[in-house]
A and B are shown apart, each in its own frame.
Chain A
């Protein structure tokens, strides 16, 4: 039953890492969008509502984008790492 305990601990830890990383990634993207708006001289003096809409649109694009899906690697890479370790230690 050792492997069940390990899998449980591993995937709980990876879930925490996944959530923290996805919060971070969203935050970076949002900051980037805000800065893109704020440094654009053609948008100077535009109403606050337009800025919020611009950021929202950018975040919706992010939610559908590749970068967000790449976060699944947080689960995939350690799993591959564990399986290769098991293979190379015992059958190689």
Chain B
């Protein structure tokens, strides 16, 4: 029972982290830009899919309506489309520090093309298109590419994900070192102390299993020994 709940929580945590990364990390679409425009966009309960208010772009025309730049694009298959918003990100999250949405809109307008003579561009963006929440991915940059079949290597993601893996690895190593040098010797002391009054080492060892148990047992070593 407990094992199942524990594994359920672990899978849930990994899933949430994965979705979070998928939303936040940059992705590139190879598309043809077909339209650029501004639209008064009502923002309500879906605010988390838009930039925080004080970013400066997307003028608040009222408390709940923001004037936002949009870019319409069509994929190489000629039928599936994507709508990007083009908003500054401000200083906090996600940390793209994008302040050039006016420039980006001009670039997108400049690279606009029609079906007869398509110009292909790679739009770097983060976020999801979720129709049910009126959420749009935020375009970060537009670069012309050779054609619809161009192969793009996601260097930024490779770098960030390897760094993340390294950080997780280091945190684990630090935790193991802390346990080896601080918790386990303290537990051994507890064991010796208990040996003197009666053999209760097993009980302590049992309590000391798992993350919480170990920290708890370590904290117990700070208590006065009776």
**What are 26 A-B contacts with C-beta separation under 8 Å?**
A2-B54, A2-B90, A2-B91, A3-B91, A5-B92, A6-B91, A6-B92, A21-B174, A24-B174, A27-B177, A27-B178, A28-B177, A31-B181, A82-B97, A85-B95, A85-B96, A85-B97, A89-B96, A89-B97, A89-B98, A89-B141, A90-B97, A90-B98, A90-B100, A91-B100, A92-B141
Interface size in chain B (residues, C-beta < 8 A): 19
Q: Which residues of A contact B (CB under 8 A)?
A: 2-3, 5-6, 20-21, 24, 27-28, 31, 82, 85-86, 89-92
Q: Which residue in chain B gives the minimum CB-CB distance to A28? A: B177
Give every chain B residue within 8 A of A31 (Cβ-Cβ). 177, 180-181
Contact B90 A24 (CB under 8 A): no
Tell me the minimal C-beta distance from B177 to chain A in angstroms: 6
Q: Which residue in chain A gives the minimum CB-CB distance to B54? A: A2
Q: Which residues of B contact A (CB under 8 A)?
A: 54, 90-92, 95-100, 140-141, 170, 173-174, 177-178, 180-181
Q: Which residue in chain A gives the minimum CB-CB distance to B182? A: A27
Contact B92 A2 (CB under 8 A): yes
Q: Which residue in chain A gives the minimum CB-CB distance to B99? A: A90
Contact of A86 among B54, B97, B178 (CB under 8 A): B97
Give every chain B residue within 8 A of A5 (Cβ-Cβ). 91-92
The CA-CA distance from A5 to B91 in the complex, in Å, is 8
Give every chain A residue within 8 A of B91 (Cβ-Cβ). 2-3, 5-6
Q: Which residue in chain A gives the minimum CB-CB distance to B56? A: A2
